[in-house]
Amino acid sequence: MGFREHLKRLEREAKGEMISIPQRDGTVKTFPKYQLADAYLNVMARLGAGEDAPPEHPLVAAARNSSDREWQQSIYSADETWTQEHEDLSE
């Protein structure tokens, strides 16, 4: 194993398991797998929060801009109407 191959293997191991999200422009966004949980919590925190919604997680933006149908239809690619305030119908 040459030096470059050894270095690439070490880089992969240091990053941990990664997920790739293909984009409409032909590029690919990569994220550590553990960021799926962070992105999910971000989507839930933004639900109905209106102007108080936290900033969008980069993985959420990548899922919305994905060319892959599975990412486009996932919970991560929810449209921005989720952050709008809704009338309380609990009465």
Convert the pLDDT of each residue in 15-69 to its tens digit. Answer: 678 889 999 999 999 998 889 999 999 988 888 777 888 899 999 999 999 999 9
Inside any domain, residue 59: yes
Inside any domain, residue 10: no
> Can you give the three-state secondary structure of the chain, one letter per residue?
CCHHHHHHHHHHHHHCCEEEEEECCCCEEEEECCHHHHHHHHHHHHCCCHHHCCCCCHHHHHHHCECCHHHHCCHHHCCHHHHCCCCCCCC
Number of domains in the chain: 1
Inside any domain, residue 46: yes
Q: Which range marks the domain in which residue 69 is found?
A: 17-83
Inside any domain, residue 78: yes
Tell me what pLDDT residue 52 has. 83
Inside any domain, residue 29: yes
Inside any domain, residue 28: yes
